[in-house]
Amino acid sequence: MQLAFILFKYFPYGGLQRDFLRIALTCQARGHAIRVHTLQWQGDIPPGFEVVKVPVRALSNHRRYEKFVDWVGRDLQQRSADRIVGFNKMPGLDVYFCADPCFEDKARTLRGPLYRLSGRYRHFAAYERAVFAADSHTEILMISSVQQALYVKHYATPPARLHLLPPGISADRRAPPDAAAVRADFRREFGLAEDDLLLLQIGSGFRTKGLDRSLRGLAALPPELKARTRLIAIGQDNPKPFFSLARTLGLADRVSILSGRDDIPRFLQGADLLIHPAYNENTGTVLLEAVVAGLPVLTSAACGYAHYIEEAAAGHVVPLPFEQDHLNRTLADMLADAAARRQWRASGLEWAERADIYSQSERAADIILKP
């Protein structure tokens, strides 16, 4: 079949983008042709992919997205596809991969009533309704049971169209046989002594992922513990506000902020704790990537995958409503207790051997390609 995949932007280090690429490659491996419509593509194009960069501009994002959808619709009329698979909400999809939280729920719980009079609201509400309304025909690939319940609440989406997928964790995130050697090499490269502690935060969108909370947690550590703790944050975002906050908190020499990169497995082995106190997060794939690597996790209950940390006994989850003091105390306790970190590592690795957290792309391809 000819498959048309549609997403607004592709860059190598986004969670949605990585899910898209794995699913598209799985479909291609089953013998199907891949055409991608996008506004922007950063990075290498996989062999055999046809990437169509849609040439539209507008003053606002939502108006640009409207022009994008119109352009793609005209292109698909001229060059049809057997399946149209979207990774952003829009009309005309056969299948939608739902990586985003429910817009309608956020608009009604986090915004005032005047917001619902705006053009931005009308645009995103209409595009979400086109996918989730009871009379729509779009099949929906869900990755969060919490968000699935919210969509059903607002749209009465028929259960038969909602397909809850397992997480899709890449095999290269799993702890390798030579994990100890990888860790030793990494720590030598980054100048970490044996008793130094490394906090790791991974994820594009530092504000949403709670990097400010992590910095405040580091600043609040007891002096002896803070003196031997560093934090490395990795992701695609503007680091300047967070460098400024680090300087204000007296952490300029304790914090590094790096752009997205391809050697994340080395960081997962070299660190002592993954910290991910997100403000909101539909899933939080990095939490499971840390677990399968044997890295203990401290996260917030705002992450859709936070429950896996408790199931795997691989760290701690800060409950909602979030309290910075709670994070600070938990962070200090986890860093001070080496024996507990060894147990969280062992528990996480044991759980990763039996949990179904690797088959997302295969299950998604089954639904996309269903006759």
* Edge-to-edge strand list for the sheet holding 315-318: 255-258, 229-234, 197-202, 273-276, 297-300, 315-318
Q: Is the Cβ–Cβ distance between 52 and 35 less than 8 Å?
A: yes
Of 78, 58, 62, 83, nearest to 6 (Cα)? 83
Cα separations in angstroms, 264 against 174, 182, 345, 349? 11, 12, 18, 18
Please tell me the distance from the alpha carbon of residue 66 to that of residue 124, in angstroms, as a whole number: 10
Q: Is there a shared CATH topology between the 2-166+358-368 domain and the 171-354 domain?
A: yes
203-213 pLDDT tens trace: 999 999 999 99
39-86 pLDDT tens trace: 999 999 999 999 999 999 999 999 999 999 999 999 999 999 999 999
Residue 171 in this model has a pLDDT that exceeds 90:
no
Residue 216 in this model has a pLDDT that exceeds 90:
yes
CATH of domain 2-166+358-368: 3.40.50.2000
Q: Is 92 helix (H, G, I), strand (E, B) or coil?
A: coil
What does the pLDDT read at residue 226?
Answer: 98
Q: How confident is the model at residue 172 (pLDDT cuts 50, 70, 90)?
A: confident
325-355 pLDDT tens trace: 999 999 999 999 999 999 999 999 999 999 9
Mean pLDDT of the chain: 97
Please tell me the distance from the alpha carbon of residue 229 to that of residue 324, in angstroms, as a whole number: 19
Q: Is 348 helix (H, G, I), strand (E, B) or coil?
A: helix
The residues spanned by each domain of the chain are 2-166+358-368, 171-354
Residue 170 in this model has a pLDDT that exceeds 90:
no
What does the pLDDT read at residue 282?
Answer: 87
Q: Which amino acid is at 369?
A: L
CATH 3.40.50.2000 fits 171-354, yes or no: yes
